[in-house]
A and B are shown apart, each in its own frame.
Chain A
Amino acid sequence: MSDAGLTMEAHGHPPGMVVGLPPFTVPAKKMAMWLFIIADAATFAACLVVYGFLRNGSADWPRPFHSITNVALMTLILLTSSLTMLFGVRAAKAGDKALAFRWTMITALGGVLFALLHIREWLGLIGEGMTLFHNPWGNALFGSSFFAITGLHLTHVAGGVIALVVVGLRYKGGRFNASDLEITGLYWHFVDLVWMFVVPFVYLLNLGH
């Protein structure tokens, strides 16, 4: 039996919080965010599988999109916001509070912009007669799955914006630290990543000729 465990020292944690051996020295909060991301990824994956399953089994799946301008713009904004988030976290790690706060707010702004564009697009589609249970082009499930998937994503964006603002403010106020900002950033990158799956499946595949 090896007594490797005894050679370990507490890594500056408060007494009673002795952390286990490497490689699992990820702080609990960050790990919780990773675990949430895993679970959430499974949820999104299930939704995309549903979508693929239905689309595959349908003879009259509509392809109502005619241009990718809007979705390209939305994607660009979301990608940029991931980048600004990165700047924010880097600034926070360097200890530049004001800069980090500014980048965080710019990120949140990107999220808002994305949401607005998305809602505008939704309204446009609704205007063309698409609802959860009906659309003028073909299989009604297109609308159902479109709204379900993008709606779920939009909820995540909205939640992300709120989180960014709250965490940003508290970070500025000193209640949260750089690693809290980093964890929020982790979430934001995940939301961005999910969008990278939504775009090809839900938009590009349904581009009309």
Chain B
Amino acid sequence: MHDSTAHEVHHAPPSSFLRKHVFSLDHKVIGKQYYALALVAVLVGMVLSWLMRLHLGWTSLAIPGLHLLSKTGAPGDVMTPEYYLQLMTMHATIMVFFVLTTAPFAAFGNYFLPIQVGAEDMPFPRFNMMSFWVTCTAFVVLVASFFVGDGPTLGGWTQYAPLSAVGSVAGPGEGMGVVLWASSIAIFCIGQLLGSLNFITTTLDMRTKGMSLWRLPITTWGWFVTSLMGLTAFAVLMPACILLILDHVAGTSFFVPSNLVLNDQLQPHAGGSTLLWQHLFWFFGHPEVYIAIVPGMGIVSHVLITNMRRPMLSHRTLIYSFGALAVLSYMVYGHHMFVSGMNPVSSIVFSFPTLIITIPSTIVVLIWIGSLYGSKLRTNTACLFSLGFISMFITGGISGFFLAQPSIDIMLHATYFVVGHFHMVMGVAAMFGIFAGTYFWFPKMYGRMMNETLGKIHFWLTFVGAYCIFMPFHYLGLAGNVRRYQAFVADYMQPLIPVHKFITVAALATGAAQLIFLYNLFYSRYRGAVAPANPWQATSLEWSTPSSPPPFDNFGGKLPTVYHDPYQYGVEGSSGDYVMQDSPEQIQSVRDEA
């Protein structure tokens, strides 16, 4: 990152090393920092998933060196039941919060949103810097729980009370581990609130001349809608986490009812409610899953349009669908609680908006597929990942359609069907969004091209591998295989163990394929072919900067003026089949927007 320079809006580029690379105020540097954080986090999360998978396939297998990670968790290098759950909780927390919220949203959003709207920077660069460092602190706090007391919490990423609220009597990691987990998440919320604030004000206030809202690229809309969701979702999770911490350290009982007996000890708590935590968590949790996917949808649309050489059938319909997803996402959270013991009437009440939310999703998917028709598709790596995203999202979305019906959910809740569902949509589809963005924007971020051959190998292995891992999860779920089990001891689950072995092998192979990506990333960073100014013949403003990577003030002191809708492809322009947004050229044949 040596060539990126930082600045405050309307100030000279910084000179000190710290301001340039560490406490930088430049949104581009902050975006790269977020990307690096996500990369570290995804590696930790992925290694954890390998350990989990090895254990699920061969429960008594000794994994050489595991005792180095935790003495009590892996005596003789064999994972204990509680250690499995602790790793699982960390895997999920790291992946959901520190990878899927940071990479597609905070990393790419920070880097490209200001450029795409034609601004020098965000209006509050200091908040932006704080946002990253606060998030980074949250990550450190979370990882610290590996090394404290009896390790991280084992309560799952949903951290249901009272297991999470009564303290260490409930099991290893349920004392200090939970406090660290909840602190980490509360801190994380602050970071994302600061980020959302900047994203929204940038989108609304910092647009350059001629950049009306409808002329914003679809990626910008994705980030904008996401930050609107983040603003209220994280603001609810934060107090919930603080109340959970109070239950631990101040002796309150918000989430603990009376008369609980753990370990033959009557607990001193009284009067609280366990369902309350679930309501608060899922009120955040469901918007969160759309926070994870909507930026990906934006990136995928953007990459696809560029490589289809045509705009989507309707830019506005996509935007309206994003908006509908955001609004509906607040009304469906109860679908995680169908069999939780809440009033059964609520289950039906929550099931309808859940089914209805598939309509905007379907519209998005159909617009993608319909726009492919009659296009001039180029299948580079970025485009392949975008197409892969569509395939994965269809698969995972349709399994969501089963879960959305309470009467079917009786059979599928808490089984691997759910695990299959959410890995398809967020473990793979959203990840593919990150990959597509990386292959697409790398030339802009580092001035060099990524290696296409390696990229394609990476794509094929990941695409096929991911189906091999996550499709069988659905079958396991149908057969009643319960999730969050470290071993399968019930009689009826015995025949399913070979399937788990198959999945483990697939997961390890797919994981190994990610090393190709890492290699490509670092190799291309230093040795890749020098990128031309506009390698994909794209139209949006990020390709109008004077250099790659852009100078500290993005446009070299002269902000662009925007003359066109974002995606003028397939036109009879003087420079080819496209006209850039800031080109004053008149367009011959302009498609009208539906």
Contacts and interface: CB of A to CB of B under 8 A. Distances in A.
Contact of A20 (B196, B207, B557): B207
Interface of A: 1, 3-6, 8, 10, 14-21, 24, 26-29, 31-32, 35-36, 38-40, 42-43, 45-47, 49-50, 53-54, 57-58, 132-133, 139-141, 144-145, 148, 152
A111 B283 CA distance: 33
B243 A28 contact: no
B581 to A, nearest CB: 10
B256 to A, nearest CB: 10
Contact of B10 (A10, A16, A18, A144): A16
Contacts of A57: 273
Contacts of B270: 139-140
B212 A4 contact: yes
B328 interface: no
Contacts of B120: 16
Nearest to A21: B212
B253 A43 contact: no
Contact of B276 (A18, A29, A54): A54
6 contacts: A5-B211, A19-B205, A20-B211, A20-B213, A32-B201, A132-B252
Contact of A8 (B209, B231, B553): B209
Interface in B191-224: 193, 196-197, 200-201, 204-213, 215
Q: Which of B200, B235, B276, B587 has the largest number of chain A CB atoms within 10 A?
A: B235
A43 B236 contact: yes
A50 B276 contact: yes
Interface stretch (B452-460, B471-479, B559-567): B559-567
B480 interface: no
B149 interface: no
A27 B124 CA distance: 12
Contacts of B593: 1
B254 interface: yes
Given A19-B207, A35-B196, A54 B10 contact: no
Interface size class of B (residues with CB under 8 A): 35 or more
Interface in B288-326: none
A139 B124 contact: no
A58 B271 contact: yes
Contacts of A24: 204-205, 213
B124 A32 contact: yes
Contacts of A19: 205-207
Contact of B246 (A29, A58, A148): A148
Given A17-B9, A32-B197, A43-B238, 18 more contacts: A1-B564, A1-B592, A4-B212, A5-B211, A6-B210, A18-B559, A19-B207, A21-B212, A27-B205, A31-B205, A38-B231, A40-B235, A43-B239, A46-B236, A47-B239, A140-B253, A144-B253, A148-B252
B590 interface: yes
Cβ-closest 6 pairs across A and B: A5-B210, A20-B207, A28-B123, A133-B251, A42-B235, A144-B252
B204 A140 contact: no
Given A38-B231, A54-B272, A133 B197 contact: no
Contacts of A15: 559
B239 A46 contact: yes
A36 B177 CA distance: 31
A43 B231 CA distance: 10
A94 B232 CA distance: 36
Contacts of B213: 20-21, 24
Nearest to B559: A16
A3 B563 CA distance: 7
A133 B247 CA distance: 9
Contacts of A152: 239
A152 B415 CA distance: 40
Contacts of B208: 18
A156 B197 CA distance: 19
A10 B207 CA distance: 11
B232 A39 contact: yes
A17 B163 CA distance: 52
Contacts of B564: 1
Given A20-B212, A42-B235, A53 B197 contact: no
B590 A140 contact: no
Contacts of A10: 209
Nearest to B233: A42
Contacts of A31: 200-201, 204-205
Contacts of B234: 39
Given A6-B210, A42-B235, A1 B254 contact: no
B271 A141 contact: yes
Nearest to A1: B590
Interface string B557-589: 101011111000000000000000000000100
Given A20-B205, A35-B196, A6 B271 contact: no
B484 interface: no
A145 B250 CA distance: 12
B233 to A, nearest CB: 8
A15 B276 CA distance: 51
A23 to B, nearest CB: 10
Given A5-B211, A14-B10, A139-B271, A133 B204 contact: no
A42 to B, nearest CB: 4
A37 to B, nearest CB: 10
Interface string B313-353: 00000000000000000000000000000000000000000
A42 B236 contact: yes
A19 B483 CA distance: 51
B124 A50 contact: no
A6 B563 contact: yes
Contacts of A8: 209-210
A132 B209 CA distance: 55
B501 interface: no
